[in-house]
Amino acid sequence: MNAFLILEDGTVFKGTSIGSTREIISEIVFNTSMWGYLEVLTDPSYAGQAVCMTYPLIGNYGICHEDMESLRPWPDGYIVNELSRMPSNFRSDDTIQNFLEEHDIPGIAGIDTRALTKILREKGTMNGMITTNENYNLDEILPKIKEYRVTGVVKKVSCTEKKELKGDGFKVALLDIGAKNNIGKSLNERGCDVTIYPCDTPAEEIIASNPDGIMLSNGPGDPKECEYQIEQIRKLYNTDIPIFAICLGHQLMALATGADTKKMKYGHRGGNHPVKDLASGHVYISSQNHGYMVDGETVNPEVAEVAFINVNDKTVEGLRYKNKSIFTVQFHPEACPGPQDSDRLFDEFIQMMEVKKNA
C-alpha cells in the first residue's frame, strides 16, 4: 500500500505503508543512530514526534523485548529508507512491522531519508503528516499540519503509581517525567533502593520519604510546559538532598533556578555526539535525544556553572550547581551507544550521597 509523508512546507515523499495505516500529524525529527532502533522506539522522550532513521537499513536484527526502554513504543510515526522484513538474530522475538502494527503506529518506508534529513537540517524541525490517502488535498491539510503542537506528553508517558526497585544501598527517589528503564536499572545495579514516582508527585511527598538522593529523569516535550514540575523541582532544589538530573530533568532544574531554555533548530538525536567535560578535558561519546537546550547565557554564575559542552556546536550539555550537591546533564549516561563512556556519572552520584551521609 502506498503511503505519503507530507511536510508543512508542502514537500511530499511517496513510499510504502508500514505498521498501522491510520493517519497522523506529528513533529518530524531524525535520529542518526546506526543501531538501537528498538531503544529509540521505546524511549518516552519521542512522544508527540515521528522519527526518521537516517541509517538506510532498519530492522535487520528484529525486535528483542528484553531491550525495550519502556513497556511500549512512543513515537507517533516511524520513517525509514529500507525496512528489513526478515530479521537475522538469535535474540529476535518479532519484526518491526508486526511491532508497529501491534501498537497501532503508522510508518512509511522506501523514501529518501537522507533528503528528508537535509530538509530538516536546513529549514529546522517541522510538522508533517503520514497518510495512506492517495486523494489528499494539500490546500486542506497544510493548515492542519502547521497547527500541530506537542502538548501534554509528560503526563502521557509517566507512570501512574509508585514503583520500587528493591536494593540494599542508598535510597533514591526517581521522578518519572518520561524515564527510560535503564535509569532506574543503572541505579539499582549499584545497590540503590529506587522508588519511582509519577510526574505529578508533590515535592513534599518525595522529601518526606527521606531519600538519600533524588533522580530527575529524561522526558518529552517543551520543558516550559511543565509548570507544575518546575515548581516542585524548585522545592527539591531548596533542600540539601543530592540531585542528579538527565535530559528533561536537566532542563527543568535550570528553569527552576532562573535560567532559560530554547528550542533548537533540529536538535540532537543519535548515538555519537561528543561531549566535553570542562573540568577534566575528557570527551565522552554520548547518546542524545532532545530538541530543547538550556541557554548558557541565562545561567546565573552564582547559582551554577556550565560543566559539559557539545564539541560540535558548543551548546550546554550539563551544569554543576554551586553550594549544592546537584549536577545535571543533557545527554544520556544510562544509554550504551557503543562505548559506556559516561556511565561513571552514576558512580559520581553515589559518591555525592556517600559524602552527604557521612558529613
Residue 342 is predicted with a pLDDT of 74
- Residue 334 annotated among the catalytic residues of the structure: yes
Residue 248, C-beta contacts closer than 8 angstroms, at least 6 positions apart: 45, 154, 177, 178, 216, 217, 218, 219, 220, 221, 223, 226, 290
Residue 343 is predicted with a pLDDT of 81
- The two beta strands, 2-7 and 326-329, are unpaired
248 is in an annotated binding site: yes
Q: Active site residue: 247, 250, 290, 317, which one?
A: 247
Residue 85 is predicted with a pLDDT of 85
Cα atoms found within 13 Å of the Cα of residue 279, Cβ hemisphere only: 6
184 is in an annotated binding site: no
pLDDT under 50 in the chain at which residues?
none
291 is in an annotated binding site: yes
| Cα–Cα distance for residue pair 184/58, rounded to 1 Å | 28
Q: Active site residue: 8, 27, 39, 334, which one?
A: 334
78 is in an annotated binding site: no
219 is in an annotated binding site: yes
Q: Which domains does the chain have, with CATH numbers?
A: 2-150 (3.50.30.20), 154-358 (3.40.50.880)
- Residue 332 annotated among the catalytic residues of the structure: yes
pLDDT tens track for 1-45 = 999 999 999 999 999 999 999 999 999 999 999 989 999 999 999
